[in-house]
Amino acid sequence: MDEQTKSRVTKTAHLLAYTSLAIAILYAIHVFVVIDDHVVKQMLSNSGQKPTDNAIGLIRNNLQFTGVMYVLANLAGIIAIWNKHTYLWWFMFAVFVAQVLYNLVNISSLFVAISDVKSPLNILPLSIALLLSIIMAIYMLIVSIKRKSTFNK
């Protein structure tokens, strides 16, 4: 591998690693700071459902447990600093795409509930995390098609 290719591989790996770390931090803020019982209660009220304590707890736990899974999956991208394996590339691509699709299911009701209960600024962590996930997924797909490989090799 020549010096230019090696530099390109390193830059791409660092971009993937640091972006994954940023997404994990933003998503953790969303899951553990923004999502609480009040937001879930408002989300249920906005959809015309009766917000029982049991329903609020179940929905909050679901959002937080799934959020932990995505935080850990995004943290796996840090491995790209040391190991530029093809499997890691496609795993991170799948994480970015799945994270966006999972959150798009109820994003409007979640954003409205967050805006009603808290400040509209509390929408920013999830919005930025999803935007970065979309950008990284598109970037990774373009690199894979253009170079016919991963990590710009």
* DSSP label of 82: T
User: In the predicted model, what is the mean pLDDT of residues 86-114?
Assistant: 94
pLDDT category, 153, cuts 50, 70, 90?
Answer: low
In a domain, 152, yes or no: no
| Model confidence at 26: pLDDT above 60 | yes
In a domain, 62, yes or no: yes
In a domain, 69, yes or no: yes
61-68 CB contacts, 8 Å cutoff, 24+ apart: 63/31, 63/35, 64/31, 64/32, 64/35, 66/102, 67/27, 67/28, 67/30, 67/31, 67/32, 67/35, 68/31
Amino acid at 151: F
* Angle (nearest 5°) at CA 34 between 17 and 100: 45
Q: Do residues 77 and 21 touch, judged by C-beta distance below 8 A? A: yes
Count of domains observed in the chain? 1
The Cα–Cα gap between 106 and 49 comes to 15
Q: Which residue has better confidence, 86 or 24? A: 24
User: In the predicted model, what is the mean pLDDT of residues 144-153?
Assistant: 76
| Model confidence at 129: pLDDT above 70 | yes
- The least confident of 6-15, 23-32, 45-54, 103-112 is 6-15
Mean of the per-residue pLDDT values for the chain?
Answer: 92
In a domain, 64, yes or no: yes
In a domain, 134, yes or no: yes
In terms of residue numbers, what domain contains 92? 3-147
Where on the phi/psi map is residue 148: left (φ > 0), alpha (ψ -120 to 50), or beta? Answer: left
In a domain, 82, yes or no: yes
In a domain, 115, yes or no: yes
In a domain, 153, yes or no: no
What is the pTM assigned to this prediction?
0.91
What pLDDT sits at residue 80?
87
pLDDT tens-digit readout, 38-89:
999 999 999 999 999 999 999 999 999 999 999 999 999 999 888 888 888 8
Q: Do residues 12 and 151 touch, judged by C-beta distance below 8 A? A: yes
